[in-house]
Chains A and B, each alone.
Chain A
Amino acid sequence: MKSQPKILPPSLRQKKRYIIFKVLSEKPVEYMELVQSIWRSLLNFLGELKTSELNIWIIKNLFDQKTQRGLIRCSHKEVEYIRSALALVEEVGEVRVLIKVEGVTGTIKSAKKKYLGYKDLTDFK
């Protein structure tokens, strides 16, 4: 038997949205530091309870170090909460930054196509 739960049928899965953001900063920021700052902002601004409702996931392998763009997965009803929390991020590590939301999509595929500049969509890693 698998030691992980099975994937739920589509009707029981949580509905998702993907937020594409771009980090504007004086110098490029590291992924791990960025994640820490975002989480700190979420927990300080929204608290533990609301953050637990967001179903948030910052996708590691879609953060592009060169263009400083990334993707956050969240619940489809809570997009505005995350936008506001992202707007409150001021510093990553010791670099002053601001995070700009470029768009919201329903799938990773369309996010790649519209915002992340993927031409060839056969590579879905």
Chain B
Amino acid sequence: MKYYDLHVHTNVSVGENSLEEIVEQAKRLNIDGLGITDYFSTVDEFMRRKKVKRPDIDIVFGVIIRAETESQLKKTVNAVRNKAELILVHGGNYEINRLASEMPEVDILAHPELERRDSGIDHIVARNMGENNVALEINFREILESFKKHRAYVLSNMRRNIYLAKKYNVPIVTTSSAYSIWGMRACRDLASFANLLGLDLPEAIATVSSTPEQIITSNRRKLANRVDTRIGDEL
């Protein structure tokens, strides 16, 4: 079984470590595939990114989009879709969450409950995510960096989101969202959090293995063919 962690930052944007250091750490943690997601201000910047090929580890070059307005999100997603192997949307704002759930081009909606008192997802967003195959992210850094009462709220919101995701068949991925190599964890350990938050163990393990693998293979196939297909389409 292959293990994937689809949300890791490097020092190109907010992270602390270089890509090489992260890859070394991933090898120590037995991670087979790594999604390198960074914030970029322009598309050219993403294209200029140093793309390292490693035979021993599968590196997926993606972007995470932090948009303030709806039009900005649409524009950015359309600009990078034919170039990036993975598109994440920085969630938290309900309007952005909802719009991202309506876009089949988006792969993962990252931390929809970030800095919110509620879970950031209602039945409409969950249904859209199910229909458009936008995956829900369980973000380990949010759990790691919160404590006491706040951590209880974060876990509670995540549990809510997982409950809705299960109802509407939304794919779920668990990621470390690490800013440095010390924020990374072995994928099987991340799956245990998904298990505690309401998924069965096989489902929880799928959130770090088969679900991310499917997302990546389908994206790569589409990028290779260069056909303008929708991500939500059946493989």
Contacts and interface: CB of A to CB of B under 8 A. Distances in A.
A51 B164 contact: no
Interface residues of B, number: 26
Contacts of B153: 52
Contact of B123 (A3, A12, A51, A53): A12
B58 interface: no
B94 A4 contact: yes
Contacts of A3: 93-95
A5 B125 contact: yes
A9 to B, nearest CB: 6
Interface in B105-160: 118-125, 147-149, 151-156, 159-160
Contacts of A9: 123
Nearest to B150: A48
Interface in A1-41: 1-9, 12, 14, 39
B9 interface: no
B167 interface: yes
Contact of B164 (A12, A43, A48, A55): A12
B156 A5 contact: no
B196 interface: yes
A53 B113 CA distance: 16
A62 B118 CA distance: 21
B98 interface: yes
A55 B153 CA distance: 8
A55 B149 CA distance: 12
Contacts of B121: 5
Nearest to B148: A43
B149 A6 contact: no
A2 B93 CA distance: 11
A43 B154 CA distance: 14
Contacts of A4: 94, 118
Interface in B146-202: 147-149, 151-156, 159-160, 164, 167, 196
B162 to A, nearest CB: 12
A12 B167 contact: yes
A6 B148 contact: no
B149 A43 contact: yes
Nearest to B158: A52
A6 B93 CA distance: 14
A3 B70 CA distance: 12
Contacts of B118: 4-5
Contacts of A49: 155, 196
A3 B97 CA distance: 10
Sort A-B residue pairs by CB-CB distance and give the 9 closest, nearest first: A52-B155, A5-B122, A51-B152, A52-B156, A52-B152, A6-B122, A48-B151, A48-B152, A3-B94
Given A4-B118, A12-B123, 17 more contacts: A1-B95, A1-B98, A3-B94, A5-B118, A5-B119, A5-B121, A5-B122, A7-B122, A8-B123, A39-B149, A48-B155, A51-B152, A52-B153, A52-B154, A52-B155, A53-B159, A55-B156
27 contacts: A1-B95, A1-B98, A2-B94, A3-B94, A4-B118, A5-B94, A5-B120, A5-B125, A6-B122, A6-B123, A6-B124, A8-B122, A9-B123, A12-B123, A12-B167, A14-B160, A43-B148, A43-B152, A48-B151, A49-B155, A49-B196, A51-B152, A52-B152, A52-B153, A52-B154, A52-B159, A53-B159
